[in-house]
Each structure stands twice: as C-alpha cells, then as structure tokens.
Amino acid sequence: MPWNLDSKRPIYEQLIERVMQDIVTGNYKPGEKLPSVRELATLAAVNPNTMQRALAELETSGLINTQRTSGRFVTDDAGLIQQARQNLALTQVRTYIYQMQQLQITPDEMQQLLAKTLEEGTL
C-alpha cells in the first residue's frame, strides 16, 4: 500500500517525516536494519532517487547510519530517537496552532477544545 503523500509539499521531506515516524513509534527499532532503498521506494510509490535523498538526510541527522555492504540501520541512541519524536510532535503542534489561528480561534479556545476532546476521548 503506498504511503499517503501530499503533492503540496516536497516529497522527500514527507519521506523523511514518515521514516522518522516509523523509527520513533518503534516500527523500526533501535539497531534494526532498514529495508533497502528500492524496497522503501516501492512501499512509498516514489522514485528510488527521491528515497535515497530522504535517507541521506536522515543519515546526516544521525537517526540512521550506513554500514558498508550491510545496509542502513536505525541508530541505537535512544536520546536521538527521543529528540526526533519531540521534533515531530512540535511540528504537529505548530501546524495545529497555525490552522486554529486561520480560523481565528484564540489560545484559550484552543485549550478548551483540546481539553474537551481529550476528556471525551474523541479523536
């Protein structure tokens, strides 16, 4: 099943976010070998060069590393994985705040909406 990618944003950025999400949520565990570039590109229904670019960015960040002839692996650094988790969450929070501001929802109203939604357990 292809990944849900938004044509309004650069694809490679979305690929980075998706692989990061898979790492921070434990779909790819610390020290685990990642699928090959071709396998990931097939899963995402993207060009392998685009996937390669995304993985290169993740390698630069330290979240994954390449072992020559063995492939790419998720870092064992739990602190780095936790930081990536926080960064992804912060991005979502900023998106939420931006969208609420577009609707002219005040910070107090945002807090009330969040509290009510969490209380109801409705997502």
pLDDT digits (tens, 9 = 90+) for 52-104: 999 999 999 999 999 988 999 999 999 999 999 999 999 999 999 999 999 99
Task: Please answer whether residues 80 and 16 qualify as being in contact, where contact means their C-beta atoms are separated by less than 8 angstroms.
Answer: no
Confidence (pLDDT) at 55:
97
Confidence (pLDDT) at 1:
53
Confidence (pLDDT) at 122:
65
Confidence (pLDDT) at 69:
87
Mean pLDDT across 106-115? 94
The pLDDT of residue 2 is above 90: no
We find that the CATH architecture of domain 11-78 is Orthogonal Bundle (1.10)
Question: Which helix (DSSP H) or strand (DSSP E) does residue 110 occupy?
Answer: helix 107-120
Structural domain boundaries in the chain: 11-78, 85-120
Question: Which helix (DSSP H) or strand (DSSP E) does residue 66 occupy?
Answer: strand 64-67
pTM of the model: 0.82
Instruction: Give the dihedral of Cα atoms 33, 31, 21, 81; nearest 10 deg.
Output: -160
pLDDT digits (tens, 9 = 90+) for 11-41: 999 999 999 999 999 999 999 999 999 999 9
Strand locations in the chain, DSSP E? 64-67, 71-74
Task: Please answer whether residues 46 and 55 qualify as being in contact, where contact means their C-beta atoms are separated by less than 8 angstroms.
Answer: no
CA distance 123 to 121: 6
Give 42 or 3, the one with higher predicted confidence.
Answer: 42
Give 9 or 49, the one with higher predicted confidence.
Answer: 49
